[in-house]
Structure 1
Amino acid sequence: MTIRPLLAPLLGLGLLLGTPAARAATPSAFTATYDVSQGGSPMGQATVTLRAAGNGEWIYSKDVKGTGGLAALLGASVTESSRFRWKGDVPEAISYDYQLQAAVKTKQRHMVVDWAKKQVTVDEGKGPQTYPSSPGMVERNTLALALGLALRDGKQQVALPVAVRQEVQVQNFKVTGKETVKVPAGSFGAERIERTDADRGFSAWYAPDRYPLPVKLSQHDGGDMVMELVSYKAD
């Protein structure tokens, strides 16, 4: 058994949308927790936070700890931290840091955006790579937040420029239905969204009138991983 399938949900939660609703304010600071499972078996816990950083910038962080199965045995953990500024309702990227720690593997990525030069620089420890930025660009960590706000504004489909390893990639998502979802945080009438331009087995369920984050996320790429909301607290 390889470590990669077991750690797939840790590599990115990380990552929705009629007639636009009245514009609402961007979210205030919050802390959310999730249970992470694989194939129905407990695997870890995730904590997601949003806080103001001053000067019009915000920090969105995700910490995932392996607490069950092989992930716990290997002491696996992932930390993701994004610094951004609001561009309308979109968390426009300024920087992103990712770090995976496990007994048999470590991995890191640092991304920074120079908006004056319209350039993205990505470094995974093997030397920096650069490519052009795109206005309203997010990265994989803040994608879930951007989608939740699009849903809150009444959108049924959305295309977002996402900074990935070597380029800005436009990713397309669409609401595919409404379902009742039961998670540790409660029962929700949720909107189910899926990515439409890639067959990655990705689905997420949002209650946009309640939270800007998904109440449930399912990713089959890498092995049947599910995240379920446990708690959400506005700070």
Structure 2
Amino acid sequence: MIIRSLFVPLVGVALLFGSTAMAAAAKTPTAFTATYRVTQGGMPLGDAKVTLRPAGDGEWVYSKSIKGSGGMAALLAANLEESSRFRWKGAVPEAVSYDYQLTSAIKSKQRHLRVDWAKKQVSVDEGKGANTYPAAPGMVERNTLALAIGMALRDGGKTLALPVAVKQQVETQNFKVTGKETIKVPAGSFDAERVERTDADRGFSAWYVPDRYPLPVKLSQHDGGNVEMELLSYRAD
């Protein structure tokens, strides 16, 4: 069992907003805390905690932590910590930095991403030397992907073309809303919008209720081990 970023498939920042930047900014979420139940193949792995907090100077910090408390995750003492700093560009969480740290009894992994907007350059370092490439306006990274999708859906987006800072470049990924479904999770029963990726077979589905939450109420990811996340609670702080 390997814990990794469980929002990885939900990539990017929507370029097709129907509102003005001022109207979009007025709808950006305030600070919040969300918790998820994480399972793999139906077996519990632990809970994930996701938070959004203001950082001053117009920037925000979006963090996710998963501490393995069940199955192999507990046995291996596996823990995942991710933290992103970004600035709102309209309703887009435009990347400033991202830090990823996975630790366990048998391995560890890290990634540090920095964006120099003055030079329009991204730097990514996984401990073996930094790789650099050009930044793109409205670009997000792997940790803020779920938030970016949720904001796009809140503005009425149904087909999304999204620029994402990955390891060696900014790539455009495509998603669409494929329909509505009733979803039951620990936080309740919801009429949710189902989102699928359309330009790659990544084996995932995500369900959003964009008029209530900026994050998905459920995520199912089959690429890498049948991992599911279901919303336990959400509160505005």
- TM-score of the superposed pair, with normalisation by structure 1: 0.94
- Match for residue 63 of structure 1? 65
User: CA offset at residue 123 of structure 1?
Assistant: 0.4
Partner of 2:5: 11
Q: After TM superposition, which residue ranges in structure 1, 4 or more long, deviate above 6 angstroms?
A: 16-19
Aligned residue type for 2:5: L
Taking the aligned partners of 1:76 and 1:206, their CA distance within structure 2 comes to 28
Which of residues 106, 111, 114 is equivalent to 1:112?
114
Give the deviation of 1:223 after TM superposition: 1.1
Alignment partner for residue 191 of structure 2, among 183, 186, 189?
A: 189
> Could you give the per-residue CA deviations for residues 74-98 of structure 1, whole angstroms, max 9, x where no partner exists?
0001000000001111000000000
Supply the RMSD in Å over aligned alpha carbons: 1.7
Whichever residue aligns with residue 7 of structure 1, its letter is: I
Matched, 1:90 2:92: yes
Instruction: Give 1:41 shift.
Output: 1.2
Amino acid at match of 1:59: V
User: Among 42, 49, 56, which residue is 1:40 paired with?
Assistant: 42
Distance 1:94 1:155 in 2: 24
Shift in Å at residue 13 of structure 1? 2.2
For 1:117 and 1:111, locate their aligned partners in 2 and report how far apart those are by CA, in whole Å: 15
C-alpha separation between the residues in 1 aligned to 2:18 and 2:56?
30
Is the partner of 2:119 in helix, strand or coil? Answer: coil
Deviation at 1:7, TM superposition (A): 2.0
Counterpart-to-counterpart distance in 1, 2:226 and 2:6: 14
Q: Which residue of 2 aligns with 1:226?
A: 228
Cα deviation 1:34-73 (Å, max 9, x = unaligned): 0000111111110000000000000000001111110110
The alpha carbon displacement at 1:199 in A equals 0.4
- Of the structure 1 ranges 15-24 and 196-205, higher mean CA displacement relative to structure 2 is found in 15-24
Percent of aligned pairs sharing the same letter: 71
Paired residues, number: 229
Tell me what 2:218 maps to. Answer: 216
Q: Which runs of 5+ in 1 are unaligned?
A: 1-5
Contact in 2 for aligned 1:12/1:140 (Cα 8 Å): no
Question: Could you tell me how far 1:19 is from its partner in structure 2?
Answer: 9.2
1:145 to 2:147 alignment: yes
Greater shift after overlay, 10-19 or 68-77?
10-19
CA contact (8 A) 1:64 1:78 kept: yes
Q: Distance in 1 between matches of 2:193 and 2:132?
A: 36
Q: Distance in 1 between matches of 2:70 and 2:161?
A: 36
* 1:205 corresponds to 2:207: yes
For 2:111 and 2:185, locate their aligned partners in 1 and report how far apart those are by CA, in whole Å.
32
The one-letter code matched in structure 2 to 1:184 is P
CA distance in 1, matches of 2:171, 2:102: 23
Aligned partners of 1:154 and 1:131: how far apart in 2? 32
Give the structure 2 partner of residue 3 of structure 1: none
Q: TM-score, normalised by structure 2?
A: 0.93
Equivalent position amino acid for 1:86 in 2: W
| Conserved 8 A contact 1:137-1:163 | yes
